[in-house]
């Protein structure tokens, strides 16, 4: 039976902060066994049980709801927010990852207010640690469908997202214009060198141009040493780009 908010027991249990997460999961299991279809029940404002569990970070409850109703990961409330938006609101990386596995297409979906999950991490993560915010943002960047929307958000919150440029460029190819728009020097960008070098020597060159002067000097010395070592060992073929990139990235 629904309460005056249109919510049933499954909604209330999924959103509970008063009981332990283990106890909540046990109750949710019983409720789903009795009525599996309630995993898709819509309460006040269009919220499903998964919306509540994602916002609360109730991971064990989410692991029960998602197999029971995978479609819930793509359901929107009245503000056109999916469960991934609510998980991002709380900067809960584990919750974001779970719902993205079921609905990766919503990683950059705009809500009715125009917010996608990534800016929500930065806008509403003031009660989370910097590490929690960065890890949640990384989960979303790994699902980014295109470079420019992600870049726009990183530019917007550059004072908090400087280390995240490496995660984006390691995954998706950038045009020369997009590379030129990245701040230079860019902290931590050398971390992306193995993936970028394997993808494109041109992009690897643009990446090097964004490193700090000291990093570029160490990289040049290491590249020369690596080439000399290959010649001394009479290696017939060059090392694979990804392996060379890993060696060089360790240097800087």
Please tell me the predicted confidence (pLDDT) of residue 147: 95
Tokens of 15: 């959103």
Binning the chain into helix, strand and coil, the percentages to the nearest 5 are 70, 0, 30
Q: How far does Cα 163 stand from its chain's mean position?
A: 13
Mean pLDDT of all residues in 180-200 = 91
The mean pLDDT of the chain is 87
pLDDT single digits (tens) 40-51? 999 889 999 999
- Taking only Cα atoms into account, the Rg of the chain, rounded to an integer number of angstroms, comes to 23
Arithmetic mean of pLDDT, 29-53: 91
Out of 53-67, 177-191, 238-252, least confident range: 238-252
Distance between CA atoms of residues 97 and 102, nearest Å: 9
Q: What is the pLDDT of residue 247?
A: 64
pLDDT of 77:
96
What three-state secondary structure class fits 92?
coil
In this prediction, residue 225 has a pLDDT band, given cuts at 50, 70 and 90, of confident
Helices 59-68/93-102 angle, 10° precision? 10
Question: Per-residue pLDDT tens for 142-172?
Answer: 999 999 999 999 999 988 899 999 999 999 9
Report how far residue 202's alpha carbon sits from residue 106's, in angstroms, rounded to the nearest whole number: 31
| Residue closest to 38 by CA, chosen among 63, 16, 8 | 8
pLDDT of residue 74: 98
- Per-residue confidence (pLDDT) for residue 61, from 0 to 100: 94
| pLDDT at position 221 over 70 | yes
**What pLDDT, on the 0 to 100 scale, is given for residue 219?**
76
Q: How far is CA 155 from CA 44, 146, 149, 158, 202, in A?
A: 36, 15, 10, 5, 23
pLDDT tens for each residue of 68-88: 999 999 999 999 999 999 999
pLDDT of amino acid 63: 96
pLDDT value for 251: 59
**Cβ-contact 62, 53 below 8 angstroms:** yes
Res 236: pLDDT: 54
């Amino acid at each position: 039976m629904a309460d005056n908010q249109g919510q049933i027991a499954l909604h209330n249990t999924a959103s509970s902060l008063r009981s332990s997460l283990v106890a909540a999961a046990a109750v949710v299991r019983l409720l789903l066994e009795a009525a599996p279809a309630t995993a898709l029940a819509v309460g006040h404002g269009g919220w499903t049980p998964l919306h509540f569990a994602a916002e609360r970070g109730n991971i064990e409850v989410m692991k029960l709801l998602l197999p029971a109703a995978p479609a819930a990961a793509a359901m929107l409330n009245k503000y056109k927010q999916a469960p991934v938006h609510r998980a991002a609101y709380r900067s809960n990386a584990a919750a974001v990852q779970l719902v993205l596995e079921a609905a990766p297409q919503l990683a950059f979906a705009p809500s009715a207010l125009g917010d996608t999950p990534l800016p929500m991490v930065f806008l509403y993560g003031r009660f989370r640690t910097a590490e929690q915010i960065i890890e949640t943002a990384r989960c979303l960047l790994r699902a980014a469908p295109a470079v420019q929307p992600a870049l726009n958000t990183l530019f917007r919150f550059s004072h908090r997202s400087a280390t995240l440029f490496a995660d984006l460029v390691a995954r998706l190819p950038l045009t020369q214009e997009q590379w030129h728009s990245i701040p230079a020097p860019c902290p931590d960008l050398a971390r992306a060198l193995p993936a970028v070098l394997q993808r494109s020597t041109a992009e690897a060159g643009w990446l090097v141009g964004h490193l700090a002067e000291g990093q570029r000097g160490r990289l040049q010395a290491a590249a020369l040493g690596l080439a000399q070592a290959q010649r001394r060992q009479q290696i017939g073929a060059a090392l694979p780009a990804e392996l060379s990139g890993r060696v060089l990235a360790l240097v800087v």
